[in-house]
Amino acid sequence: MWPTVFDPFKELQDIERRLGAVLNVNQPAQEVKSFTPAVNEKIDDKGYYLEIDLPGVKKENIDISVNDGILTVSGERKLEKKEEKENYTKIESFFGRFERSFKLPADADLDNIEAKYEDGVLKIFIPRKQKPEGKKIEIK
């Protein structure tokens, strides 16, 4: 069993960190943080489906690109919450950048990818390439 080392300053640092988070001490007013949106994936005979949760992100702040077989979804979330009362006004701003990349399979039809954004969920459909059907060759 390893000996336990007691550090009294660690507890003080934890308290200071917690208080700082509550009081927003030592944080810029408009700090930009990154976040990782949740993704659901589904595959069937028609293609590949991605559902990406992007609550609070506006459609115009989302970029989708395909380069070298990699599908990349990126953007920025900008939220502002304003609360006005008789004696004060409180404004909270939340900013965050995100980027998710997905390696596409060889049978993905890159020319026909579809994307739809609704109720904070980005839905992307990547169809499979149609397999060429066999051709009967006539013997002469």
Share of the chain above pLDDT 90, in %: 43
> pLDDT confidence of 131, banded at 50, 70, 90?
confident
DSSP state of 59: G
Q: Taking the mean position of all CA atoms in its chain, how far away is CA 78?
A: 13
Q: What is the pLDDT of residues 96-122, one digit of tens each?
A: 788 999 999 999 999 999 999 999 999
Helix (H) or strand (E) holding 127: strand 121-127
Phi, psi values for residue 135, rounded to 5°: -120, 130
3-class DSSP state of 80: strand
At residue 22, the pLDDT reads: 64
Q: Which residues pair with 76 in a beta bridge?
A: 97
CA–CA distance, 27 with 98 (Å, rounded to integer):
20
Q: Is 104 exposed, middle or buried (0-12, 13-18, 19+ CB in 10 A)?
A: middle
pLDDT at 6 over 90: no
Lay out the sheet containing 47-53: strands in order across: 39-43, 47-53, 121-127, 114-118
Average pLDDT, the chain: 81
* pLDDT tens profile 46-81: 999 999 999 888 899 999 999 999 999 999 887 777
User: What Cα–Cα distance (Å) separates residue 31 from each residue in 20, 27, 51, 76, 96?
Assistant: 14, 7, 28, 13, 8
> For the CA atoms of the chain, what is the radius of gyration?
25
Domains annotated for the chain, with CATH where assigned, are 34-127 (2.60.40.790)
Given a cut of 50, whether residue 29 has pLDDT beyond it is: no
> Cα–Cα distance between 84 and 60 in angstroms, integer?
28
Predicted local confidence at residue 1, as pLDDT: 36
